[in-house]
Structure 1
Amino acid sequence: MTRLSHSKHNSLDEKDYIETLSQKRNTSKSRKVLEVKSAALAAAKQHGLNPWSKDSLILYMCCFTSFLCSCANGYDSSVMTAINIMPFYQTRFTSGVVGSTTGIIFSVYTIGGLTSPWIAGPITDRFGRRRGMLIGAIVICIGSAVISSSNTKGQFISGRFILGFGVSILTCAAPSYIVEVSPPQWRGRMTGLYNCGYFGGSIPAAAITLGTQKIKSDLSWRLPLIFQCVPAFVVICIVWFMPESPRWLLANKHDEEAHAFITRYHGGGDPSHPVVELEWHDFKEGIATDGADKRWYDYSELYKTTSSRWRFLMVVFMSIFGQFSGNGLGYFNTQIYAAVGYSNYKQFVLNLCSSIVSCIGALCGVAVADRLPRRTVLIAGTFASAVFLAINGALSARWASMPSDAKNLSVGQGAVAAYFLFNIVYSFAYTPLQAVYPVECLQTNARAKGMAMYGVIVNVFGFINQFAGPIALKNIQYNYVFIFVGWDCIETIIWYFFAVETMGKTLEELDEVFTSSYPPRAQIRKVVAIKDDGHVDLVKEA
């Protein structure tokens, strides 16, 4: 059971500590007694932060910076989809729209992503979350320069490798940073917004390529690749104006700075704020200053206990399912649209529209991230994804069976509509939680290395998507969709039996859930007394 106290009360038991707090608060009478999931979140509801204060605006800047770190992945997906059908790009590299050569060009990005996580975790643990973001952003700028100036296929492939290398550093550092700086009551929305940066990259990329595809020179594909470094350059410019993660500070023995952070940004400047007291006690009890994060080679925090194995299992599930639920088809949107009869120009337009509607779905998911249970969203969203992909595959099959001179355009439009609905549902369910869920499940001392391993698995399945996708589309065409229909049904069953609920607790309180006998069914609640002065004390575990 987590005891609620400041570090100086660590020697006291829970009863003594609550009595001490009561004396300090002039023995204020209880206003009401409630049963809640989290004492800290109950306190946060009694003492809401001013969303328009200077300190809140700084937190928004932190959120925006992490959002920019996520833009690189979305930009790459959308820009490669578009330039792959540009005539000057094809003339320069003669890669083909689909097939093994295109698969190599697309998938080498994930090979770079498979290489860097082994240093991304140690870098983020050793030098801090901010420096991790800085280093990743610098690497992306270098990769953008290499790829946009390419005159040979070898240089182009090298540039994509460098881009993938840098992106994996960002996707290790940025989500770890934003989940650790977020106030407990804003955690779901702020961390979920990070992964919406995917659309912050894909929508501008789709819009830029829609405009440049009319240029009758290599600039048609070079300009979009030059713009790929813009978000990373902005990160380089502003990252040093942001505060460092308080959890990283405490883990590296900067206690005063860590306490000052949560006092200022989580407690509105009041060191006796109940959220500050509750968080600080949990920090001191749950974060080790001599953990495996101090040893670059030590990944034992991911597997050494039953609790840590449950935590990492959730990371593995999200890394696989988040990449292999049919969303990998997004790299080949234009081929999907071409297969049901849309012209080259309309393929560019639909590529842009697809990014926009997917973004809307993701933002809706972010808006409810602190209210809807994670399990419910993952189970229902995965099953709905299977349904819409099945409709898309069936209509595509119907379109393919029609004679070329008797095509029914409404069938093709229905297939595209079903694919759009799949993108909306997938984005609602997965886009926010791909960032929120793994970093919530990991402990502070394992978070950076855990997210690095998350990046390894993501890139393994990204490689399968990007290398196998063009080959599969060339050989089995629309039937490729049905592979994901079946797999999404399997994912739904796995989520139902194994997904652990993380909503409604602070990061440190989740230890109670993961140490229970069967975390997916853990129902750990607390009885708290809310005082007349708004302070919240733990009475007992329910």
Structure 2
Amino acid sequence: MSLDDKAVDIQQEDVKEIPQAAAGEVQHMSAIEAARLEGKRMEVRNARFYAAVSESNLKASSKRSLWMFYCMFVAFTCDCANGYDGSVMSSVLAMSHFQSYFNAKANLNTSLIFSIYTAGSMISAPIAATFNDRYGRKKTMGLGGIIIIVGGILSATTHTVAQLVVARFLLGFGVAIMTNAAPAYVAELSPPQWRGRCVGLYNLGWFGGAIPAAAITFGCSYLNSNLQWRIPLALQCFACVFVLANLYFMPESPRWQFMNGKEEEAFQFLVEYHGDGDSRSPLVHFEIDEWRESIVQDGIDKRWWDYGPLITSHANRWRMLQVFLISLIPQYTTGGTGYFNTFIYDMVGLTSTTKQLMINLIGQFISCAAAVSAGLLSDRMPRRGALIYGTIAVACFQLLNTGLTKYAADRINSGGEHTSDGFGISYGFSIGTIIVGQLSGIAYCFGYTPLQAVVPTEALETTTRAKGLAFSSFVLGAIGFIGQFAAPIGLANMGYNYMWVFVGLDFFWIVVFYFCAVESQGRTLEELAWIYDQPNPVTASKRKDKIIVETDGHVVEVDEKQA
């Protein structure tokens, strides 16, 4: 029996025994008629979606849900590899043995070692999209993991700058492949009512790698040999080994299965994990109906060379604008200086390597707490508000941070009062600079970190998701390459003046988000197609349905235009 026949039989059976509203359908009434009804009056993004979710019995504590969450956790560890690299390289750069071994100060060597990582990410982006579309999300994560392990071994055993550069290139290449598939996997696996939290928390994988890396490098800093930096670089492989050990046992993305003709497998996944084994679940039928209407099986995912549809239609141009903005703007709020915090600490007089690594470790915990809080609120927190107000907070803290950095650096350069272990006025401003820098990091993580994964996966429809995420990786790589190559040189030549450029950009980004950010919170991935088809998706995305939840649980949509 085909999927269509099976679904029709189930739907016919449901009609006999379940009220119409229980299939995710919503009654429509005029405002005058609805005034006579008793129940809770609400405004929601999608009345039918709300009805399907409220009348389903999916529980987060069920065995099927817990296994689904574990599979998402495995995908979460893919991002740990990326976070580990960002933290470990920032910390390793402060280590005396690494600096002397590779002559790694604020110079061309440092720029090359850091920026080649993002060059690898840029080059692998189209390869990742092609592999992801053709072979699925699981195999793509596996391929990326193998490449990262090879790169990790090379970096830990390196004896020359050239070998380290090759290793860094492979690490960037592999991370881009893994992180092309992993967020798509989480978004496509998760039930729509939990998607925001699941995808938002996925992006916290960065901290799942960054915090252990900060702790490991802090502990290894007491070693008086090259093991001081070799051990942290070797442990970059750990997350990938964990991913490879679990992939065989995990289900494939049901949306990928559906768009590749495996409709029966996709339907069975929905029944088991979104319906908790109930083939008559209203949520299951709501989702499968939307998939039939929106997912095509001959889309651009079948043509590896074809990126044209990403920009040829009005809707897709708006979709790609969302991907571009969330990929570009967070990278240009600080200009990539986060990788080189140790240089900024030197600039304001905190030169102790131990203190720098301790500050880095504490900062990772604080930023992680902010990002976790935002991730847990992702299903309730409007995307536009988080982006706009988060950028305002980052801009204000960056302005204050740069001003304090200027004052502290000027006092030190002029021979003013300063002791790194005392309480002189310059020292106080140095500490103030670090505190405000941490506050800027909190605002950044709360406003951006979860949404860097949520916005692209929500903006892109299923057949363009892999290529769209590849484009995002390319933009991230290009901006990262520029920032990581330019930042150490800019900081060396311009000092704190380099940071003023990004203060100005931060205030500009606020205006950009206000006029261009589309609200996707509270809607299914398929329903967003209607939003992007409208002449002004930003305005359309603010629309809400007014509903009444009757005392028996049925949902009525109120049409105020109907007499």
The Cα offsets for residues 16-52 of structure 1, whole Å up to 9 and x where unpaired, read as xx99976552568978686531222442134352211
Q: State yes or no: 1:351 paired with 2:360.
A: yes
The whole-number CA distance in structure 2 between the counterparts of 1:312 and 1:378 is 17
Change (3 A) 1:263 1:301: farther
- Equivalent residue in structure 1 for 2:492, among 474, 483, 492: 474
- Equivalent residue in structure 2 for 1:389, among 398, 423, 439: 398
Give the structure 2 partner of residue 166 of structure 1: 174
**TM-superposed deviation, 1:9:** 12
**TM-superposed deviation, 1:157:** 0.3
- Equivalent residue in structure 2 for 1:461, among 452, 455, 479: 479
Q: State yes or no: 1:25 paired with 2:33.
A: no
The whole-number CA distance in structure 2 between the counterparts of 1:117 and 1:535 is 47
- SS of the counterpart of 2:324? helix
| 1:302-381 matched pairs, under 5 angstroms | 302-326=310-334, 328-342=336-350, 343-381=352-390
Give the structure 2 partner of residue 125 of structure 1: 133
Residues 513 and 524, structure 1, Cα contact 8 Å, conserved in 2: no
Change (3 A) 1:231 1:10: closer
Structure 2's unaligned 5+ residue stretches are 28-37, 419-424
Change (3 A) 1:333 1:26: closer
Q: State yes or no: 1:406 paired with 2:408.
A: no
Q: State yes or no: 1:487 paired with 2:498.
A: no
* Pairs aligned (count): 530
Stretch of structure 1 that moved more, 262-271 or 517-526:
517-526
- Equivalent residue in structure 2 for 1:415, among 433, 439, 444: 433
**TM-superposed deviation, 1:213:** 1.2
Residues 51 and 554, structure 2, Cα contact 8 Å, conserved in 1: no
- SS of the counterpart of 1:431? coil
Give the structure 1 partner of residue 198 of structure 2: 190
- SS of the counterpart of 2:336? helix
Stretch of structure 1 that moved more, 524-533 or 505-514:
524-533
The whole-number CA distance in structure 1 between the counterparts of 2:103 and 2:279 is 64
Residues 37 and 505, structure 1, Cα contact 8 Å, conserved in 2: yes
The whole-number CA distance in structure 2 between the counterparts of 1:274 and 1:10 is 12
Give the structure 2 partner of residue 502 of structure 1: 520
**TM-superposed deviation, 1:239:** 1.5
Change (3 A) 1:269 1:510: same
The Cα offsets for residues 237-271 of structure 1, whole Å up to 9 and x where unpaired, read as 11221111111010001111101111111111111
**TM-superposed deviation, 1:205:** 0.7
- SS of the counterpart of 1:502? coil
Change (3 A) 1:405 1:282: same
**TM-superposed deviation, 1:527:** 6.2
Percent of aligned positions that are identical = 42
Alignment TM-score, normalising by the size of structure 2: 0.90
Give the structure 2 partner of residue 14 of structure 1: none
Change (3 A) 1:149 1:282: same
Q: State yes or no: 1:231 paired with 2:249.
A: no
The whole-number CA distance in structure 1 between the counterparts of 2:277 and 2:308 is 37
Residues 349 and 409, structure 2, Cα contact 8 Å, conserved in 1: no
The whole-number CA distance in structure 1 between the counterparts of 2:559 and 2:128 is 41
| 1:243-282 matched pairs, under 5 angstroms | 243-282=251-290
The Cα offsets for residues 281-312 of structure 1, whole Å up to 9 and x where unpaired, read as 00111101111101111113311210011001
Change (3 A) 1:286 1:150: same
Cα RMSD of the aligned pairs, angstroms, is: 2.4
The whole-number CA distance in structure 1 between the counterparts of 2:94 and 2:354 is 10
The whole-number CA distance in structure 1 between the counterparts of 2:75 and 2:21 is 41
The whole-number CA distance in structure 2 between the counterparts of 1:477 and 1:89 is 23
| 1:59-98 matched pairs, under 5 angstroms | 59-95=68-104, 97-98=105-106
- SS of the counterpart of 1:406? coil
The whole-number CA distance in structure 2 between the counterparts of 1:228 and 1:414 is 33
Residues 14 and 280, structure 2, Cα contact 8 Å, conserved in 1: no
The whole-number CA distance in structure 1 between the counterparts of 2:324 and 2:360 is 30
The whole-number CA distance in structure 2 between the counterparts of 1:265 and 1:480 is 50
Change (3 A) 1:20 1:303: farther
The Cα offsets for residues 429-469 of structure 1, whole Å up to 9 and x where unpaired, read as 11100000011000000000100010000000000111000
The whole-number CA distance in structure 1 between the counterparts of 2:315 and 2:142 is 32
The whole-number CA distance in structure 1 between the counterparts of 2:101 and 2:313 is 53
Residues 334 and 502, structure 2, Cα contact 8 Å, conserved in 1: yes
Change (3 A) 1:492 1:48: farther
Give the structure 2 partner of residue 3 of structure 1: none
The whole-number CA distance in structure 2 between the counterparts of 1:347 and 1:312 is 39
Stretch of structure 1 that moved more, 280-289 or 479-488:
479-488
Change (3 A) 1:362 1:489: same
- SS of the counterpart of 2:520? coil
- SS of the counterpart of 2:277? coil
| 1:94-109 matched pairs, under 5 angstroms | 94-95=103-104, 97-109=105-117
Q: Which amino acid aligns with 2:387?
A: L
Residues 79 and 225, structure 1, Cα contact 8 Å, conserved in 2: yes
Stretch of structure 1 that moved more, 169-178 or 531-540:
531-540
Change (3 A) 1:514 1:87: same
Give the structure 2 partner of residue 301 of structure 1: 309
Structure 1's unaligned 5+ residue stretches are 1-5, 12-17
The whole-number CA distance in structure 1 between the counterparts of 2:387 and 2:162 is 40
Give the structure 1 partner of residue 56 of structure 2: 47
- SS of the counterpart of 1:116? helix
The Cα offsets for residues 182-202 of structure 1, whole Å up to 9 and x where unpaired, read as 111111111011111111111
The whole-number CA distance in structure 2 between the counterparts of 1:202 and 1:486 is 28
